[in-house]
């Protein structure tokens, strides 16, 4: 039975080029595996926008409620 593999067989140490370009190491790495798909990027952007909107709303509520609490405690209604 013959096994077919996309990865080249690792070469012996004495057959490596002088600049250490190991083909076996290069075959395992691909920049395409690191890049996210467009759907993933759009989903991350959508969640970040929702989180930003929520933070702005909470900050606005705190800016309204905090002075009201301060005035209530300061003047003791």
Counting the structural domains of the chain, the total is 1
User: Whole domain around residue 25: which residue ranges?
Assistant: 13-75
Q: Would residue 1 count as lying in a domain?
A: no
Q: Would residue 53 count as lying in a domain?
A: yes
Q: Would residue 33 count as lying in a domain?
A: yes
Taking the whole predicted model, whether its pTM rises above 0.75 is answered as: no
CA dist list (Å): 43 to 2, 39, 48, 52, 66? 43, 6, 9, 14, 34
Query: What is the predicted pLDDT for the residue at 20?
Result: 57
Q: Would residue 7 count as lying in a domain?
A: no
Query: What is the predicted pLDDT for the residue at 24?
Result: 54
pLDDT in tens, the chain (77 residues): 555 655 656 556 556 556 555 555 555 566 666 666 677 788 888 999 999 999 999 999 999 999 999 999 998 75
Structure tokens at 73: 């405690």
């Amino acid at each position: 039975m013959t096994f077919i593999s996309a990865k080249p067989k690792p070469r012996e140490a004495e057959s490596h080029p002088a600049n250490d370009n190991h083909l076996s190491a290069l075959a395992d790495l691909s920049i395409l595996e690191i890049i996210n798909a467009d759907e993933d990027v759009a989903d991350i952007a959508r969640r970040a926008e929702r989180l930003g909107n929520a933070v702005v709303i909470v900050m606005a509520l705190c800016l309204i409620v905090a002075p009201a609490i301060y005035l209530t405690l300061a003047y003791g209604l």
